[in-house]
């Protein structure tokens, strides 16, 4: 760490995904439960692009994004028990919750109604300091939100699991994906590719659902038992009333005929969205839900417990994210962001080469 | 029965709720599993009004509505085992399903994807005969859809349980209403008044949710532990993140700020609609669901098993529907329909005096 309470990283000063500026910025004051992480890799998440470009609303600029962070714990606070200095660790999209409420005590800390701090863009109370993400040299994070990484998982590959992976792993396990269940994953992007991988690893009959057949070979390699192309006529009919769970990972709701998807759900099956499209939502009438009593929901990240389970599952089963490595820097970031916008990645970028950039 | 395959009843010939014509009409051919029921009472359901006035789409006129039927089994088919001749029985809103599919075999017969026949307005295959409801002298119904009524339940009071009651009882039990759970019932009408009664009887902490305080005294008498008036400022705030289940029994979605209701749900709480408003649906964005991972669904009637459990619960706990009796006939029907349209009933009409009308 260049100075005790500073990190160096790539910030944007406004809603442009092509203008990154390398500079120093302040970290929050070091707390008793905090861990300083020297970053070695960071996945590029769709949220990073959305956040910078403003699709989700006002942001606090200047801002350094990035919340799929892997690195080394180089300093731990005096009350830290979950992390050891020197350990390889990860940090995901959330970095704080109250820790005291019913939700926090029940492994629902990502739904804490009292206080949620995102890894970047959230203001630490009473400091005026805005949290900064992993396109940078270091992060300072409460131990609850720092996760030991199993040996077997390579740094660049595990990074995207920390947000994209967990985002789909949590709703899979919370909604019963496993042996004897038929699970669909809509949208084969960064999150969806983990969806297929994890649904299969959990033992479910796994179907990838995409517009065309372009990604069928990939889906099969990821473990899909079946593939549905929604550009084809009658795609829904053979599956009527058969899916126990569909996770919607699509990042656009344009032209989406929800009723046809829902017709594939078994009675009381669950349709869970994890993508957050920028467009207007779906009009939902009770009439669309009533013929099979389907439940529609959304899911937000996952608990620490689920994070650790997911990482262990990946290690035990030898699951490998499909990752393209990008050298951290203005050039690499600009290229990666532009390709993200176009969906030109199979299926995730990880920024690496941090030692070449930071002293 | 005037003739072996005919009944006499009050039909409408088009979408007017004030022109009922007393006449004879054909019943389906008597099958081995059929039960002929001589009707003694029939509840008036919101569906009857919706169906006649066309709010749910095209209807097959002439039509005799009514699907909260209580009467005597006067003839049973040679293969009937569930019902005995002479027994007091009920018939609800559905009168047939395939009986063979996965759903039918798993107590989801009201979600059968193969064949569902409504008690009125559905055409019996290969007969050209349209099913006719309980504003009439008799119905002929497959035994699976005929339910013995426990002694303790008076005929006029039990009638509305057969549709309105079951409609809310099923989602209550399917979604875990019971001790330790906080359950809300939105809309204190025919269905909602059963919702409050049953949620309380099942042991849940029960809240009635209505626009004004006009129905608070009633709700308390029905068993509500608490009452929320959504016309009052800040109505949702004290309940943030606390309801395990809310059953939406409202029959209108106009001016409905769904997001505020959903903010009252605990993490992964369930919002289940049983009303079917005629208006357009709600626009739902994943963003509205994500902060507490709430699930939105709808429910359709309930299984035979649930019907029998509900009737037994009502008998055991001495639950009494709030019923206003109306003499069956053109005059009574017209008055009742007009009052239904205005919501001027607390909380259900039951047509009685059948012996005065039919020979």
pLDDT tens, residue order, chain A (359 aa)? 666 799 999 999 988 888 999 999 999 999 999 999 999 999 999 999 989 987 666 778 999 999 999 999 999 999 999 999 999 999 999 999 999 999 999 999 999 999 999 999 999 988 999 999 999 999 999 999 999 999 999 999 999 999 999 999 999 999 999 999 999 999 999 999 999 999 999 999 999 999 999 999 999 999 999 999 999 999 999 999 999 999 999 877 677 788 899 999 999 999 999 976 655 666 777 777 888 999 999 999 999 999 999 999 999 999 999 999 999 999 999 999 999 989 899 999 999 999 999 97
Q: Decide if pLDDT at B251 tops 90.
A: no
Tell which residue, B15, B20, B13, B9, has the closest CA to residue B42. B9
Judge if A294 and A313 occupy the same domain: no
Asked if residues B209 and B186 have their Cβ atoms less than 8 Å apart, the reply is yes
The Cα–Cα gap between A30 and A5 comes to 8
CA distance A143 to A83: 7
d(CA A268, CA B173): 13
CB contact under 8 A, A111 and B293: yes
On whether both A143 and A22 belong to a single domain, the answer is yes
Q: What per-residue string of b and e applies to A248-280 under the rule 16 or more CB within 10 Å gives b?
A: bbbbebeebebeebbbbbbbbbbbbbbbbbeee
A288, A292, A295: residue with CB nearest B295: A295
Partner A, chain B 215-254, Cβ-Cβ below 8 Å:
240-241
Instruction: Kindly state whether residues B156 and B192 are assigned to the same domain.
Output: no
CA-based nearest distance A235→chain B, Å: 17
| Per-residue confidence band for B278, with pLDDT thresholds at 50, 70 and 90 | low
Q: Do residues B15 and B154 both lie within one domain?
A: yes
B199: helix, strand or coil: helix
CA gap A177, A173 in Å, rounded: 6
Let me know if residue A248 belongs to a domain: yes
Q: Which residue of A has its CA nearest to B239?
A: A113
In-domain check, residue A221: yes
B218-233 per-residue burial string, b: 16 or more CB within 10 A, e: under 16: bbeebbbbbbbebeee
CB contact (8 A) between residue A273 and residue B284: no
Res B16: pLDDT: 86
The token pair at B147 is 């339910």
Q: Minimal Cα distance from A295: which residue of B?
A: B297
With cut-offs at 50, 70 and 90, classify the pLDDT of residue B351. Answer: very high
Grouping H, G, I as helix, E, B as strand and the rest as coil, residue B58 is: coil
Q: Closest CB to A299: pick one of B111, B282, B293.
A: B293
**Which residues span the domain enclosing A259?**
165-298
Nearest CA to CA, how far is B75 from chain A (Å)? 33
Residue B53: band (very low, low, confident or very high) from pLDDT cuts 50, 70, 90: confident
CATH code at position A209: 3.40.50.720
- Residue A1 within any structural domain of the chain: no
Distance from CA of A240 to the nearest CA of B (A): 8
Domain co-membership, A85 together with A208:
no
CA separation for the pair A290, A284 (Å, rounded): 11
Encoded tokens for A320? 């490998």
Query: Closest to A293 (Cβ–Cβ): which among B267, B294, B299?
Result: B299
Backbone conformation region of residue A203, classed left if phi is above 0, alpha if psi is from -120 to 50, else beta = left
**Domain stop point among A276, A298, A320:** A298
CATH code (residue B101): 3.90.180.10
CB contact under 8 A, A295 and B296: yes
Q: Clarify whether residues A93 and A50 are in a common domain.
A: yes
pLDDT in tens, A133-176: 999 999 999 999 999 999 999 999 999 999 999 999 999 999 99
ipTM of the complex: 0.90
Look at residues B298, B321, B340 and tell me which one is the last residue of a structural domain: B298
* Cα distance between residue A135 and residue A138, in whole Å: 9
Same domain, A136 and A189: no
Tokens 């809509």 belong to residue: A186
Whether residues A296 and B299 touch (CB distance < 8 A) is answered with no
Residue B293: list chain A partners with CB under 8 A: 108, 111, 297-300
Domain count, chain A: 2
Q: Does the distance separating the beta carbons of A291 and B296 come in below 8 Å?
A: no
Which of A274, A298, A322 is the endpoint of a domain? A298
In a domain, B1, yes or no: no
Residue B28: other Cβ atoms inside 10 A: 22
> With 0-12 CB in 10 A as exposed, 13-18 as middle and 19+ as buried, what is A340?
buried
Q: Supply the pLDDT for residue A191.
A: 96
Contacting residues of A for B277, CB less than 8 Å apart: 285-286
Same domain, A335 and A291: no
- pLDDT band per the 50, 70, 90 thresholds, residue B4: confident
CA proximity to A285, closest of B92, B190, B331, B276 = B276
Indicate if the pLDDT at residue B287 is higher than 80.
Answer: no
| Cβ atoms within 10 Å of B118's Cβ, excluding its own | 16
Predicted confidence at residue B55, as pLDDT, reads 65
Q: How many residues does chain B have?
A: 359
Bridge pairing between strands A146-148 and B88-91: unpaired
The dihedrals phi and psi of B12, each to the nearest 5 degrees, come to: -105, 150
**Mutation target vs B (from A187, A249, A287, A290; most B CBs, 10 A cutoff):** A290
Residue B39 lies inside a defined structural domain of this protein? yes
Tokens of B341: 């349209």
**What is the model's pLDDT at position B144?**
98
Q: Does A212 reside within a domain?
A: yes
Q: Is the pLDDT of residue B182 over 90?
A: yes
Domain membership flag for residue B312: yes
Residue A260, CA distances (Å) to A241, B103, B298, B302 in order: 11, 19, 16, 24
Give B240's contacts in chain A (Cβ within 8 Å). 113
The reply to whether residue A284 touches residue B288, judged by beta carbons under 8 angstroms, is no
Indicate whether A277 and A210 sit together in one domain.
yes
- Chain A residues in contact with B300 by the CB 8 A cut-off are 290-291, 293
d(CA A271, CA A282): 13
B57 pLDDT higher than 70: no
The residue of chain A nearest to residue B286, with distances taken between CA atoms, is A298
Q: What is the DSSP string of A81-98?
A: -S--TT-EEEE-SEEEE-
pLDDT for B279: 58
A57's tokens? 């609303």
Which residues 256-295 of B are in CB contact (within 8 Å) with A? 267-268, 270, 273-277, 280-295
Are A210 and A256 in a shared domain? yes
Question: Both A11 and A60 in a single domain?
Answer: yes
B17: DSSP letter: T
Residues A227 and A314 in one domain: no
CA neighbor of A117 nearest in space, from A130, A101, A128, A107: A130
Stated length of chain A:
359
Domain-embedded: residue B131: yes
In DSSP notation, B80-149 reads --S--TT-EEEE-SEEEE-SSSHHHHTT-GGG-SS-EEESSS-BPTTT-PBP--SSBSEEEEEGGGEEEP
Contacts of A153 (CB under 8 A, 6+ apart): A161, A311, A314, A315
Average pLDDT over residues B220-230: 97
């Amino acid at each position: 760490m260049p100075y005790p309470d500073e990190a160096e990283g790539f910030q944007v000063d406004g809603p442009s995904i092509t203008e990154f500026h390398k500079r120093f910025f302040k970290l929050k004051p070091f707390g008793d439960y905090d861990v300083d992480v020297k970053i070695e890799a960071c996945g590029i998440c769709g949220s990073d692009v959305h956040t910078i470009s403003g699709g989700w609303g006002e942001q606090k600029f200047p801002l350094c994004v990035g919340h799929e962070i892997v690195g080394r714990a180089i300093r731990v606070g005096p009350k830290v028990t979950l992390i050891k200095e020197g350990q390889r660790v990860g940090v995901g999209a959330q970095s704080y919750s109250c820790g005291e409420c019913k939700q926090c005590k029940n492994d629902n800390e990502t739904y804490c109604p009292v206080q949620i701090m995102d890894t970047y863009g959230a203001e630490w109370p009473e400091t005026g300091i805005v949290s900064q993400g992993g396109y940078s040299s270091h992060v300072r994070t409460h131990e609850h939100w720092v996760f030991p990484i199993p040996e077997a998982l390579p740094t660049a590959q595990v990074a995207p699991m920390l947000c994209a992976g967990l985002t789909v792993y949590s709703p899979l396990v919370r909604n019963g994906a496993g042996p004897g269940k038929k699970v669909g994953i809509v949208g084969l992007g960064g999150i969806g590719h983990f969806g297929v991988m994890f649904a299969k690893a959990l033992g479910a009959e796994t179907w990838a659902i995409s517009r065309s057949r372009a990604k069928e070979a990939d889906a099969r390699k990821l473990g899909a038992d079946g593939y549905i192309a929604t550009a084809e006529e009658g795609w829904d009919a053979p599956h009527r009333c058969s899916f126990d769970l569909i996770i919607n990972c699509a990042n656009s709701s344009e032209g989406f005929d929800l009723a046809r998807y829902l017709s594939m759900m078994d009675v009381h099956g669950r349709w869970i969205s994890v993508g957050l499209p920028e467009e207007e939502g779906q009009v939902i009438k009770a009439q669309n839900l009533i013929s099979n009593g389907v439940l529609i929901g959304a899911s937000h990240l996952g608990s620490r417990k689920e994070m650790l389970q997911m990482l262990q599952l990946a290690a035990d089963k030898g699951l490998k994210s499909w990752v393209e490595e990008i050298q951290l820097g203005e050039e690499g970031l600009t290229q990666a962001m532009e390709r993200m916008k176009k969906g030109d990645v199979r299926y995730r970028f990880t920024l690496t080469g941090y030692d070449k950039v930071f002293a």
